[in-house]
Amino acid sequence: MKFGEKLNQLGLRLRFDAGIVSAEWSPKPGDRSAAWKMYIELLTRITTQALPNEVGNEKAALESIYSIFDSTRSVLKEQGPDCIEFSKIAIGVLNQVVRPFTAKWHNKELAGAFECQTECEKFRKELAKLQADLRKYIKALANLAGVEDLTDLEETEVNCV
């Protein structure tokens, strides 16, 4: 399978040059390990968890989203060149999905945007869109790691007696 075909299968819309898109998709154990580490990192952050209007803090949410860069870099350094397929997806998501959001809102936060209710509402609306995009990434990570996807775990209520 080609890398571009795999991206389409996973529902990820990222831009790459033709060489990468037409390259073979051939994940290695390092890719699976890296995917698992990032999957857990993202699954337990605001990247997938709702931020209702009556709770939470916009600045803390922005910092959590921004910290994905450090987490990804750490995983990439730890796994080294044994996670090339993971690297292609992770770097694409960081630069094409996460960076535009964090760049915009970092500047706004520095200018005091989170002191304004209207700006906080805009942030939360854009965060919800980012979360939808990152849920696709998280599902792709679960697929690459070869694990059951737990992204929607909290959406099902279970009575334990």
* pLDDT on residue 158: 54
Domain count along the chain: 1
Q: Which of 23-27, 32-36, 157-161 has the lowest mean pLDDT?
A: 157-161
Tell me, yes or no, whether 96 lies in a domain.
Answer: yes
Q: Is the pLDDT of residue 67 over 80?
A: yes
Q: Is the pLDDT of residue 156 over 60?
A: no
Tell me, yes or no, whether 114 lies in a domain.
Answer: yes
Tell me, yes or no, whether 158 lies in a domain.
Answer: no
Contacts for 100-107: CB closer than 8 Å, 24+ residues apart: 101/65, 101/126, 101/127, 101/130, 102/62, 102/65, 102/66, 102/69, 105/62, 106/62, 106/66
Tell me, yes or no, whether 153 lies in a domain.
Answer: no
Q: Containing domain of residue 10, as a range?
A: 3-147
* pLDDT on residue 21: 76
Question: Which residues are within 8 A (CB) of 21 and not within 5 positions of it... i.e. 6 or more apart?
Answer: 2, 3, 4, 7
Confidence class of residue 83 from pLDDT cuts 50, 70 and 90?
very high
Confidence class of residue 159 from pLDDT cuts 50, 70 and 90?
low
Tell me, yes or no, whether 161 lies in a domain.
Answer: no
Tell me, yes or no, whether 155 lies in a domain.
Answer: no
pTM for this model (two decimals): 0.84
Please give the average per-residue pLDDT across 53-73, as a whole number.
91
Tell me, yes or no, whether 22 lies in a domain.
Answer: yes
Tell me, yes or no, whether 43 lies in a domain.
Answer: yes
Please give the average per-residue pLDDT across 64-79, as a whole number.
95
51/158 Cα distance (integer angstroms) = 22
